[in-house]
Amino acid sequence: MSSIVEVAIPVPLNKTFDYLCDNEVLVGMRVKVPFVRKKVIGIVLAIKNKSNFDKLRSVEEVLDKTPILDKPTLNFLFWSANYYHHPIGEVISTALPKNLRLGKEANIKRITSLPNKTQQPDFKPTDEQNIAIAQILKSTHQYHAFLLHGVTGSGKTEVYLHTTQAMLDQGKQVLVLVPEIGLTPQMIIRFESRLKTRVVAIHSQLNETQKLDAYLMAKNGKAGVVLGTRSAIFAPMPNLGLIIIDEEHDNSFKQQSSFRYCARDLSLIRAKQTNIPLVLGTATPSLESLKNVMDEKITRITLTKRAGGATLPKVSLIDIRSNTDGVLSKMLVEKTKQYLSAGRQVMLFINRRGYAPVYYCTQCGWKARCDHCDSTMVYHRHINRLKCHHCDDEKMPEHTCPDCCEQNLEVLGYGTERLEETLSSHFEDTPIIRIDRDTTRRKKAFAQHLEQINAGEPCIIIGTQMLAKGHDFSNLAMVGILDIDAGFLSLNFRATEYLAQLLIQVSGRAGRHKEKGEVVIQTRYPEHPIFNFVLSSHYTQFASQLLKQRLSAMMPPFSHQALLCANAKNKQNAENFLHEAAVLLKSIQMDSVEIWGPVANTIEKKSDYYYFNLYLQSNNRATLHQILSTFNQHISTLKLKNKVRWYLDIDPIE
């Protein structure tokens, strides 16, 4: 007898589809089904006796012998789809490795071996670490969220390792999320060398076979530890006993395309649904987590001192308002020389890749701009091209100014490539290791750079965001922060929060071992209040000031936001669609939800599409979500719906 199955299909539609099925099938299995004129792979969500539709088509093939998604994982995915108002089919598709989405067999090709030798450290946990470990382990059988707030270099990883070992001893699995792919290799090494269990990685640089293997080893319980970037939050783990989110404040836990989830926020839900503890670790907690601490939803545990006798670095400012020396002040060059000759390493932080951010005409002020975006093009010297960092379009730099026809074209400003050039003129014999997206594109390139730094020889490291946090370089004595002033000019209301986090994280890379480190920040705004706190590493005080400001302005985390973004090649369509949407939203009438906009995005045009935003804000999360659900049900009534691309972003951060 055939049954009726409800199937989630990876299409941007807020619904599921019913099919007839003649074969035996269970919830969570993959099925191949006809959809419009194609065959697609879907996941069975329910088996039912009747359908609201007649003339059902039939399942062509049941692809699995056992469910690929178990009930708890499916429930978690349902929760996520519901919260982010995103189609369940696409949510499931985000959670599955590509090979499973394509319908390939769910077989492990290569089971990674268990480490045969583990190595224990030659130190004992500090008192603070011991207290943290004990406090977390008191809650191993129930949901409890902890904020492990430990200054940079306080040994949070040690706390992760001890609590993980305790969970493994109970036969449990542990999920560890790190923000950047660059932090996975060092974390994996630290976990593998210490724990007698299989540690599998889930991140984008693995090939598809490796990704599938990792997924299946998580699912069958063979992996004791699953370590990955944000999408690993969806890894099926039947014996999950603990979740750890390292650098919880980091923005890369939020996916900024398609299904816009935040893995940090979802970790609280997953831990709650699984009834297990959760550890959010960081030296610079997000205001969201600090607010949760205030509300007693999260317990804060502090590590106030650096481990192993190290102390926090000395931080000083260099006022570059009257600087005529270019990107590097004389003082910074002098200090760099001193540290290098003492056999130490120096890191210079500049958060901009390429040679120079502006290519312009000194005669008339013309600037090279992207034809497709509202942005200037960045000059890249090694390929002698101008590149748009928004749409990746590139072109040859002009020789004569298109406006005034003079030949006075020059670059302005500094990126990593130009800094490298300047440094090689000052430090001819010193190795310079530049780490940005351009030098780490090749697989393994990043790991090789890290290896070179970890070898400990004196060198200058040019670091971008990729090196800002988490790394533990033992011979790094000084960090110079070259250009953070853009952060003071940003329109994002979270900009100062991010800047404080960045400054403290980058500073935190210096002097992590025996000798005291030093941090030098070059700025044109030396009087900015942020420095009062950063200089003394008083993040918590600065954060409580920010929290007070947010409270008085009723901004997140004291209110909840959603963003409806529309974009189209026709500017008017994008804007008018949001006007229509605003009318619809206002007709739903919920007093406690404010609606602002539409307003053009800060970068209005990207890849030839015009972007507009409509903001929704409410003090009541439930009301906000109710209005969005109703809106979603009626969106087909909007006349311009098919003339624009649109998406909802819940808890937007940009």
Ligand X SMILES: Nc1ncnc2c1ncn2[C@@H]1O[C@H](COP(=O)(O)OP(=O)(O)OP(=O)(O)O)[C@@H](O)[C@H]1O
Q: What residue numbers does the annotated binding site for Zn(2+) cover?
A: 361, 364, 370, 373, 388, 391, 401, 404
> Could you tell me the smallest distance in angstroms from the CB atom of residue 246 to ligand X?
7
Q: Which tokens go with 193?
A: 């060398």
With contacts defined by CB under 5 A, name the span among 355-363, 381-389, 418-426, 593-601 that binds Zn ion: 381-389
Choose the one of ligand X, Zn ion, none that binds residue 123, judging by a C-beta under 5 to 8 angstroms depending on kind: ligand X
- CA 520 to CA 454: how far, in whole Å? 22
DSSP string, 445-500: HHHHHHHHHHT--S-EEEE-GGGSSS---TTEEEEEE---THHHH---TTHHHHHH
Residue 285's binding partner among Zn ion, ligand X, none (Cβ under 5 to 8 angstroms by kind) is none
* CB-based contact 129:159 (threshold 8 Å): yes
Q: Which is nearer to ligand X, 250 or 420 (CB)?
A: 250
Residues making contact with ligand X (CB under 6 A): 123, 125-126, 129, 150, 152-158, 283, 307-308, 470, 472, 508, 512
Strands 345-349 and 314-319: unpaired
C-alpha 521/C-alpha 320 separation (Å) is 10
Residue 212 CB neighbours (<10 A): 22
Nearer to ligand X, 158 or 180 (CB): 158
CA–CA distance, 144 with 640 (Å, rounded to integer): 46
Residues 344-373 within binding reach of Zn ion (CB under 5 A): 370, 372-373
Cis peptide before 557 (omega within 30 of 0): yes
For the CB of residue 505, give the shortest distance to ligand X in the complex, in Å.
7
Assigned token pair, 229? 């970037």
- Name the minimum Å distance from CB 469 to ligand X: 6
Q: Binds 21, which of ligand X, Zn ion, none (CB < 5 to 8 A, cut-off by type)?
A: none
The DSSP bridge pattern shows strands 345-349 and 460-463 to be parallel
- Beta carbon nearer to ligand X, 129 or 165: 129
Percent helix, strand and coil across the chain, each rounded to 5? Answer: 35, 25, 40
Query: Which runs of E-coded beta strand occur in 569-636?
Result: 593-606, 609-618
Q: Which is nearer to ligand X, 334 or 451 (CB)?
A: 451
C-beta closer to ligand X: residue 314 or 337: 314
In the complex with Zn ion, the residue whose CB is nearer, 372 or 385, is 372
Residue 363 or 375: the one with the smaller Cβ distance to Zn ion is 375
Nearest approach in angstroms of CB 603 to Zn ion is 9
Identify what 308 binds: ligand X, Zn ion, none; CB under 5 to 8 Å per kind.
Answer: ligand X
Q: Which does 370 bind (CB under 5 to 8 A by kind): ligand X, Zn ion, none?
A: Zn ion
CB of 163 to ligand X, least distance (A): 13
Residue 366 Cβ vs ligand X, minimum distance, rounded to whole Å: 44
The burial class, CB within 10 Å (0-12 / 13-18 / 19+), for 294 is middle
**Six token digits for residue 460:** 């200058």
Coil, strand or helix: which one is 272?
A: helix
Torsion, CA 109, CA 110, CA 111, CA 113, rounded to 10:
180
In angstroms, what is the minimal distance from the CB of 602 to Zn ion? 15
Closer Cβ to Zn ion, 606 or 625, answer by number: 606
Q: Interface residues for Zn ion in 190-249 (CB under 5 A)?
A: none
- The contact pattern for Zn ion, residues 386-405, with x = CB under 5 A and - = no contact, is --x-xx-x------------
According to DSSP, the residues that pair with 201 across neighbouring strands are 227
Find the shortest distance in angstroms from Cβ 392 to Zn ion. 7
The entry of Zn ion, ligand X, none that residue 373 binds, CB within 5 to 8 Å by partner kind: Zn ion
Determine the residue type at 269.
I
Q: HSE, CB side, 13 Å, CA atoms: give it for residue 508.
A: 29
Q: Which two tokens stand for residue 277?
A: 């503890």
Tokens encoding 593: 């939800």
Rule CB under 5 A: say whether 499 interacts with Zn ion.
Answer: no
Q: Which residue ranges make up the site for Zn ion (CB under 5 A)?
A: 370, 372-373, 388, 390-391, 393
